[in-house]
A and B are shown apart, each in its own frame.
Chain A
Amino acid sequence: MDIQFPQILFQIINFGVVAGALTYFLYTPVKKVLDDRSKKVEEGQKAAEASIAEKRQIDELRKKIIKDAEKEAAKLLEEATQAATARKKELMAKAKEEATANAAAEQQNKMDEVAALKQTIKSQYADAVVAAVEKIGMSIDKKVQTQIIDSELDQLLQRIA
């Protein structure tokens, strides 16, 4: 068997050229494409994770807001209930006070009416007595009149002196 070194060398060179050409024109671009895809997948994964974390944060915040709103609503309800109870008490006390005042005023009115009636009776009684006395007075005779004047005159002159 004849080993032809130039041919082996040529084959080696030929193989090297083909390998180099394949590496340059095929392997490197394909690898680049695969690397790019891999990178994109990785980025997508990171973005997805970030988005999940953000969603989780938003959910937490939402729950917190709802909880705070429920607390606030309960507080407002409690305050409103207390205010309504206090107002009810106030109105009832006022109504009671007015009823008492009205009753007292009514009683005072009745007492005033009774007092006025008594005064009317007294006045009429006094008028009747005076009318009777005047009638008697008109019938006093001259002798008695003179005696009355004498009596009063002495007293008046003492006061004048």
Chain B
Amino acid sequence: MMKILVTSAIELTAAQMSKIQKAVTKKYGSEAKISTVVNPKLIGGLTITVGSRQFDGSLRSKIDQIKKMLGEGTIS
């Protein structure tokens, strides 16, 4: 059975849950189990963990990327 964890900055709406359910069922069948977690530290957006793979669509990761780019860029 495939386990799917959805972590979001705020609680997902019913429409959003439905969308996720449809996509997961299409990909993995009806045996996939979806669980949700709210984590304000993501600031915004969400992450989806499928098995050992993580798909990150959070604002936190984008801010981290900006921080890394600023750290590696040149200051004129």
A residues in contact (CB < 8 Å) with B: 118-119, 121-123, 125-127, 129-130, 133-134, 137-138, 140, 142, 144-146, 148-153, 155-157, 159-161
> In the bound complex, do residue A157 and residue B23 qualify as a contact, i.e. CB atoms below 8 Å apart?
yes
B residues in contact (CB < 8 Å) with A: 8-10, 12-13, 16, 19-20, 23-24, 26-27, 43-46, 48, 50, 55, 57-59, 63, 66-68, 70-73, 75
**Number of interchain pairs (Cβ within 8 Å):** 84
From DSSP, what is the main secondary structure of chain A's interface residues? helix
Apart from A130-B67, A152-B57: 9 A-B pairs, beta carbons within 8 A = A118-B75, A126-B68, A130-B63, A130-B70, A137-B43, A149-B10, A149-B46, A153-B57, A159-B55
List, in ascending order, chain A residues with CB within 8 A of B63's CB: 130, 133-134, 137
CA distance A142 to B71 in the complex (A): 31
CA distance A150 to B44 in the complex (A): 11
Measured CB to CB, the nearest residue on chain A to B68 is A126
CA distance A46 to B24 in the complex (A): 138
> In the bound complex, do residue A152 and residue B71 qualify as a contact, i.e. CB atoms below 8 Å apart?
no
B48, chain A: closest CB distance, angstroms: 5
A125 and B70 contact, Cβ closer than 8 Å, known pairs A149-B8, A149-B9, A161-B27: yes
Measured CB to CB, the nearest residue on chain B to A155 is B57
List, in ascending order, chain B residues with CB within 8 A of A155's CB: 57
CA distance A152 to B75 in the complex (A): 32
Contact of B20 among A140, A148, A157 (CB under 8 A): A157
List, in ascending order, chain A residues with CB within 8 A of B43's CB: 134, 137-138, 140
**A123, A149, A160 pick with most chain B CB within 10 angstroms:** A149
